[in-house]
Amino acid sequence: MIEAYIGLLIFWPLAAGLACLGLRGPGARSALVLATGAVLAAGAVGLATQTPLALNPAFLSCATALHVAQAAAFLFPAYFLFQGIREKHGLVMLFASAQLALAAYGEFGLPAPRAAQDAVFCDGLALALVLVASLVGSLISIFALPYMQRHEEHLHLKTSRQPQFFLILLAFLGLMNGLALAGDLRLFAAFFEGTTLCSYLLIGHDRTAEAKKSALRALWMNCMGGMFLHAGILLAQKQFGLAGIRELASPALWAGATLLPLALILVAACVKAAQLPFQAWLLGAMVAPTPVSALLHSSTMVKVGVFVCLRLAPVLEGTTTGRILTLAGALTFLGASALALGQSNAKKILAYSTAANLGLIIACAGIGTPTAIAAGVVLLVIHAVTKGLLFLCVGDMEQTVGSRDLEDLRGILAKTPLTALAASAGAMAMILPPLGMLAGKWAALEAASASPAAMVMLAVGSALGVVCWVRFSGTLMGGVAVGPQPAHASGLTSGPILALLAGAVGLGMAAPWLNALLLPAGQGSPLAGGWGLLPPLFATAMLAWIAGLKVLGRQSLQPLAAPYVGGLPQARPGSFVGALGRNWTLSEGNEYAPELFGEAKLTRLAGALAIALLLALVGGALI
């Protein structure tokens, strides 16, 4: 029974995507995407009831499956190389060839490794990734249905390219599930490369010059990541003759051995997770339609990177490699938060904030204690839901207003109240106690007590994040209302937004229990100390919520006071008669402090520091 669930989780999305390609009608497509959502949700919940588990389902453990995975090690880089040659992109060619060479070496130069103990292996971490990919990913795919319709109307396409789009979108979800559950490194690597392929195709979907450029950038960076991953895997294979992820992630195996293979795999993970200095591919990804960026940022792709780090985290506890990884993660948290603060482009703010929060998770992985790992997994789940929500909201507002600049979204509360409020709530969920993101940050700060430098970077990054999100939320809610406009209302747009909003707040509140579930047994009651002080804070927050809403209800019936402008208000809103009888017109704008948070300068500085840390990560493991 459980094998059937796993089969559905991995292969159903691919089958449904192929069916989308065959049945090109929008009705059939909607039905298929909705059905995929239902199947994935059922499968993920079914899997959750059986976790933890280790299985050898025939379709993943048989010789054919491994042969397919080995063939994939050649096929994906070969396709990337082909794309590189076609687009005359040197870096893609270089890294794809390197991947091919490594695959050939692994196939013909090394003895075949012992097969993994379990082809499928699901613990709390894997389940978290499956739930995120299946639930959040499905909601984003559903949101994509009306969105892509409007998107193509806007582009005036002759033949719809939605069938291909949904094929890749859905297949991506299946690949993510496979990646989360794979117990064998060869299978894992095949799924890993599959996500690179999907992201390349999705980012380039619109086929504009900018989309092509961004897609190729994502491709070369992730090809490089793939090269590091393969190099790490082959080194580990050479060292231990193993191919099982579970065996590889046990600290006992590494006692006294060099951590170089892990360091290489961690660099690959940092590329996937868009850590500094590799954040450029994720920023480029925002040229794609909103559902793509939502998917890449929240539930797929970048989560692969943090998943790998958290998977290897038990080995990293107390090692030099772990300490350097903590510093690298904290540096990205700091640098990307500062970069986010200087942006007025709402999608760039989200992108930098994604890199920052993933940095926080990677810092948790570097610390490697059970408490830190549990905090990292909680952050992974809650970040996926919250960031998915924020992306969908920004995408919806962008389609309404025609701009993604925060200054143009000022006062959007009056135009699309539901989306604007959901976005505001999402922004608040990123920073407010006692919700999960803040709780995770707090736990990470206390867990990082072995590394003062990391703690200080986390402290500064945290303040930067608070300012960024309060300003984001305040800008959406403030501003002069331009009169309500009837917004396009589709249940398929508001449904996913509301579901994600409920998830962001609900999961945020459930963080202490999630955390307790994730901590290994035998640690006593994890709720007694630490996260146990959150539930009383929830009670306070609920009381404040009720009191606040009562006042809101009362005040919203009252007439508003005339704005204080330091002069005589005029009949025309937004202007007044000031000193010397002059007429003044009001205009507002946020201060982005470019001299402090300028993108070019900060990117160079933080990028250089990050490269130094990653070199130290690999070099430190060599010694």
Partner 1 sequence: MNLNTFLLALAGLVLAPLLGGLAAGVDRVVTARLQSRLGPPLLQPFFDVGKLMSKAIAPASHWQGLFVRWALAASLASDVLLAAGGDVLMCFFVQAASASFVALGAFCGSSPYSKLGAQRELFQLLAYEPVFLVAILCMAKAAGGFDAFSIMAAQGPLLLRLPLVVPGLVFVVLVKLRKSPFDIAASHHMHQEVVRGVYTDYAGRDFALLELAHWADVTVVLWICSFLWATGPLQMLATGLAFLFAALIIDNISARLTWRTMLKRTAPLTLILATANLVWLYLE
Please name every residue paired with 53 in a beta bridge, in sequence order, or none if there are none. 122
Cα–Cα–Cα angle for 58, 60, 63, rounded to 5 degrees: 80
By C-beta, is 27 or 559 nearer to partner 1?
A: 559
Supply the minimum distance, in Å, between the C-beta of residue 529 and partner 1.
9
Cβ atoms of 4 and 146 closer than 8 Å: no
Q: Give, as ranges, the residues between 327 and 386 that touch partner 1 (CB under 8 A).
A: 341
Cα–Cα–Cα angle for 235, 240, 242, rounded to 5 degrees: 90
Nearest to 194 by CA among 79, 288, 312: 79
Burial zone of 54 (CB within 10 Å; 0-12 exposed, 13-18 middle, 19+ buried)? middle
Burial zone of 612 (CB within 10 Å; 0-12 exposed, 13-18 middle, 19+ buried)? middle
Task: For residue 243, give the H/E element and its range.
Answer: none
Q: Give, as ranges, the residues between 508 and 537 that touch partner 1 (CB under 8 A).
A: 530, 533, 536-537
For residue 122 the two structure tokens come to 């699901």
Residue 123 makes CB contacts below 8 A (sequence gap 6+) with 51, 52
CA–CA separation, 18 vs 3, rounded Å? 22
Supply the minimum distance, in Å, between the C-beta of residue 502 and partner 1.
20
Supply the minimum distance, in Å, between the C-beta of residue 113 and partner 1.
42
Query: Which amino acid would we find at residue 472?
Result: F
Contact pattern for partner 1 over residues 299 through 338, marking x by CB under 8 A:
----------------------------------------
* Candidate residues 179, 304, 425, 455; the one interacting with partner 1 per rule CB under 8 A: 455
Which range in 3-11, 173-181, 259-267, 459-467 contacts partner 1 by CB under 8 A? 459-467
By C-beta, is 45 or 586 nearer to partner 1?
A: 586
Supply the minimum distance, in Å, between the C-beta of residue 402 and partner 1.
23
Nearest to 406 by CA among 464, 494, 471: 471
- Binding of partner 1 at residue 565 (CB under 8 A)? yes
Supply the minimum distance, in Å, between the C-beta of residue 272 and partner 1.
29
Nearest to 144 by CA among 125, 166, 163, 114: 166
CA–CA separation, 394 vs 299, rounded Å? 17
> CA separation (Å) from 595 to 355, 415, 463, 547?
22, 33, 18, 41
CA–CA separation, 196 vs 73, rounded Å? 13
Helix axis angle for 417-431 and 491-518, nearest 10°, is 20
By C-beta, is 561 or 623 nearer to partner 1?
A: 561
Supply the minimum distance, in Å, between the C-beta of residue 559 and partner 1.
6
By C-beta, is 50 or 575 nearer to partner 1?
A: 575
* Candidate residues 276, 288, 339, 445; the one interacting with partner 1 per rule CB under 8 A: 445
* Candidate residues 22, 25, 318, 563; the one interacting with partner 1 per rule CB under 8 A: 563
For residue 618 the two structure tokens come to 């690999």
Q: Give, as ranges, the residues between 187 and 246 that touch partner 1 (CB under 8 A).
A: none
The count of chain residues that interact with partner 1, using the rule CB under 8 A, is 58
Helix axis angle for 320-341 and 452-477, nearest 10°, is 30
- Binding of partner 1 at residue 560 (CB under 8 A)? yes
Contact pattern for partner 1 over residues 99 through 128, marking x by CB under 8 A:
------------------------------
Residue whose entry in the numeric block shows the structure tokens 């995770």: 440
By C-beta, is 241 or 589 nearer to partner 1?
A: 589
By C-beta, is 76 or 442 nearer to partner 1?
A: 442
Supply the minimum distance, in Å, between the C-beta of residue 538 and partner 1.
11
For residue 445 the two structure tokens come to 């700060």
- Binding of partner 1 at residue 556 (CB under 8 A)? yes
* Candidate residues 306, 378, 464, 614; the one interacting with partner 1 per rule CB under 8 A: 464
Contact pattern for partner 1 over residues 470 through 509, marking x by CB under 8 A:
xx-xxx-xx-------------------------------
Which range in 12-20, 263-271, 505-513, 538-546 contacts partner 1 by CB under 8 A? 538-546
CB atoms inside a 10 Å sphere around CB 62: 13
Which range in 78-86, 163-171, 226-234, 439-447 contacts partner 1 by CB under 8 A? 439-447
- Binding of partner 1 at residue 605 (CB under 8 A)? no
CA–CA separation, 432 vs 536, rounded Å? 15
* Candidate residues 86, 554, 572, 582; the one interacting with partner 1 per rule CB under 8 A: 554
CB atoms inside a 10 Å sphere around CB 110: 12
- Binding of partner 1 at residue 463 (CB under 8 A)? yes
Task: For residue 556, give the H/E element and its range.
Answer: none
For residue 151 the two structure tokens come to 């998107």
By C-beta, is 38 or 546 nearer to partner 1?
A: 546
- Counting DSSP H helices and E strands in the chain, the numbers are 26, 5
Supply the minimum distance, in Å, between the C-beta of residue 549 and partner 1.
7
Contact pattern for partner 1 over residues 581 through 600, marking x by CB under 8 A:
-----x-x-xx-x--x----
Residue 49 makes CB contacts below 8 A (sequence gap 6+) with none
Question: What count of Cα atoms within 13 Å lies in the side-chain half-sphere of residue 5?
Answer: 22
* Candidate residues 86, 153, 564, 579; the one interacting with partner 1 per rule CB under 8 A: 564
**Residue 256 backbone class (left: φ over 0; alpha: ψ -120 to 50; beta: rest):** left
Nearest to 442 by CA among 430, 433, 454, 429: 433
Supply the minimum distance, in Å, between the C-beta of residue 388 and partner 1.
23
By C-beta, is 488 or 601 nearer to partner 1?
A: 601
- Binding of partner 1 at residue 555 (CB under 8 A)? yes
By C-beta, is 285 or 468 nearer to partner 1?
A: 468
Sign of the dihedral defined by the CA atoms of residues 587, 590, 596, 598, in that order: negative
Cβ atoms of 192 and 226 closer than 8 Å: yes
Q: Give, as ranges, the residues between 10 and 39 that touch partner 1 (CB under 8 A).
A: none
* Candidate residues 299, 321, 462, 603; the one interacting with partner 1 per rule CB under 8 A: 462
Which range in 40-48, 131-139, 446-454, 493-501 contacts partner 1 by CB under 8 A? 446-454
- Binding of partner 1 at residue 543 (CB under 8 A)? yes
- Binding of partner 1 at residue 466 (CB under 8 A)? yes
Please name every residue paired with 576 in a beta bridge, in sequence order, or none if there are none. 569, 584
Residues contributing to the site for partner 1 (CB under 8 A): 341, 431-433, 438, 442, 445-446, 449, 452, 455-456, 459-460, 462-464, 466-467, 470-471, 473-475, 477-478, 530, 533, 536-537, 540-541, 543-545, 547-549, 551-552, 554-556, 558-566, 586, 588, 590-591, 593, 596
